[in-house]
Structure 1
């Protein structure tokens, strides 16, 4: 689904107001990615005492020599390190179930299995590897985490289907988190604390 004019305007305005450096907004492919980008911009304005160059939001960053699709978004922020975000625009009714970590999703009149956790982990490891080549001393490397966002699914609906028993929700963001900058921040901050 293409990005609505309304959402595109909101992102443009948020990017102009943000103290984050925003790269690649023109690379947003769909409404789910756009809503995630807008939510991150709203949740992570840069602290006043940090220079704009110290934090950025990068849309679809491409790494040379990789076999994986780029992450949808990467946030680099003094408070979080690097956070890789993957947006999944599925509605709850498009998901038939979860089996062994794979989402069984109706897509173009076919049932497809996709492992969204593995996809985000692969992206994380690719970014981590690229950073490792630039900064071989691990003490100089930023903390890196990955999250998967489902902008069209409420957490309560996910739980009603018992999907929270089949997939770790600490790496998932739902519609509520994207609608509430404070909640999004709390979830990202909790993941960062867990990784420390």
Structure 2
């Protein structure tokens, strides 16, 4: 799944200035000129159309609208000088009260459960979909690998390529030359590792798609 760069594109009243990774972008509100971070999917999907300055002082009915994991239920009386607060239902089952500006700008997309899950994933050795994404990002060969090439070993004067994925070791073939074995391993990484790494990057589990050399 290739990530689409939206830099320079306009959605509603938001001009995307830069891709920030982790599902976020830097954008400029064309109504007031304010620059800030936005949730990319909310901007592209039309849920967020400004920085929150749109229609100041006017009550906006967002009943039933979805903002990430939150669905707006009903408005709550606002405090003087502030925009309306809304009671929202989160996909996890919790309810919470969120300021309208925080919803429309993409600052709040859950009751807090999403952030908790992200922290848990980070603590759990970067596991994502049953895979340690930090391990598969690494280019370092196993300490017992005499060739110094990850996923390749020598057996009876032939180079055997393999890949370990989700608890299984997959043999990729036996080759006459080391270069052939390395190419087989590279193709397997594209097939098995790349999709998981791209999804983990989009979810913010890892901060880069660049291979780790250590």
Fold-level similarity (TM above 0.5) = no
State the TM-score, normalized to the length of structure 1.
Answer: 0.23
Structure whose alpha-carbon radius of gyration is higher = 2
Q: Which has the higher contact order (CA 8 A, sep 6+)?
A: 1
TM-score, scaled to structure 2:
0.21
More strand by share: 2
